[in-house]
Amino acid sequence: MNKVKLLIVDDNPVIRQGLRSLLEAEEGFVVSSEASTGAEAIQWMRKNTADVILMDIRMPIIDGIDATTQILRSHPQAKILILTVTEDAKTLARTLHAGAKGYLVYSRFEPDELLKAIHTVASGEEIPPSPAVAMALGELPGGEPGIKPLPDLMPAEPLTERETQILDLIADGRSNAEIAQALILEEKTVKNHITRLYSKLGITSRYDAIRLRLAHLR
């Protein structure tokens, strides 16, 4: 089995060492490098690759939100998981809108949850946000810098009844597995529906879908 290659980005050396020790004790992971600022992460990614980037938010020089934006601009396939102490819903919503695949808040997760989250992100899936962060996503105005305007919820090609159901469940913070269980579908079928749904709406992520749906419910 191929190991998941990781880049740890955090300005706290104690946290970096703790994460490295935890992850390198697991057979399925290898820590390729560490960075103490977003700027260092951007520089490292210019010459290297990682399967998953574990990114802090509050760092000097370039913070985790700007680093996420810049890395994904040059490496669209990069997968970023936010690990942070902040629980501010709007801040977390902005990291997701920047393109992160999800977030975990320190003191709110166990080691096994971190490992599961890394595997989820490495597979290309997104981690559903908490209800508060989902609501904050829906409240992000399109006129703010870095926040693209919302598309129309009534696309040229109408959503099917199933696609509308799935959009509602995404906005409710359900994972693909939970959506599959709720609708009695195979998870692969749910993924196919979501792909078509995104194409019709002109969006690229679960977080765009949440923001779009909640904005139109207000």
Write out the residue range of the structural domain in which residue 114 sits: 4-127
Q: Tokens representing 29?
A: 């992971």
Domain boundary among 72, 92, 127: 127
pLDDT for position 213: 82
Q: How far out from the chain centre does Cα 125 lie?
A: 8
What gap in Å lies between CA 69 and CA 87, rounded to an integer? Answer: 20
111 and 8 assigned to the same domain: yes
pLDDT for position 39: 95
Segment 27-55 mean pLDDT? 94
111 and 63 assigned to the same domain: yes
Q: Which strands, in side-by-side order, build the sheet including 29-35?
A: 29-35, 4-9, 52-55, 80-84, 102-105
148 and 109 assigned to the same domain: no
Kindly tell me the burial class for residue 22, based on how many C-beta atoms sit within 10 Å of its own C-beta (0-12, 13-18, 19 or more): middle
pLDDT for position 207: 84
What gap in Å lies between CA 211 and CA 205, rounded to an integer? Answer: 10
CATH value at residue 184? 1.10.10.10
What gap in Å lies between CA 80 and CA 64, rounded to an integer? Answer: 10
CA distances from 9 to 19, 36, 100, 185 (A): 10, 6, 13, 38
Domain boundary among 75, 92, 127: 127
What gap in Å lies between CA 129 and CA 163, rounded to an integer? Answer: 20
pLDDT for position 105: 95
Q: Which H helix or E strand runs over 5?
A: strand 4-9
207 and 121 assigned to the same domain: no
9 and 113 assigned to the same domain: yes
Answer yes or no: is 133 within a domain.
Answer: no
Answer yes or no: is 107 within a domain.
Answer: yes
Q: Specify the number of domains making up the chain.
A: 2
15 and 93 assigned to the same domain: yes
pLDDT grade for 80, boundaries at 50, 70 and 90:
very high
Segment 150-166 mean pLDDT? 78
107 and 18 assigned to the same domain: yes
Q: What is the DSSP letter of 172?
A: T
Mean pLDDT is lowest, of 61-65, 179-183, 214-218, for 214-218
Answer yes or no: is 122 within a domain.
Answer: yes
CATH value at residue 109? 3.40.50.2300
112 and 209 assigned to the same domain: no
The answer to whether 120 touches 144, Cβ cutoff 8 Å, is no
pLDDT for position 137: 82
Residue 212: pLDDT over 90? no
Domain boundary among 88, 104, 127: 127
Q: What is the pTM of this model?
A: 0.83
Segment 50-69 mean pLDDT? 94
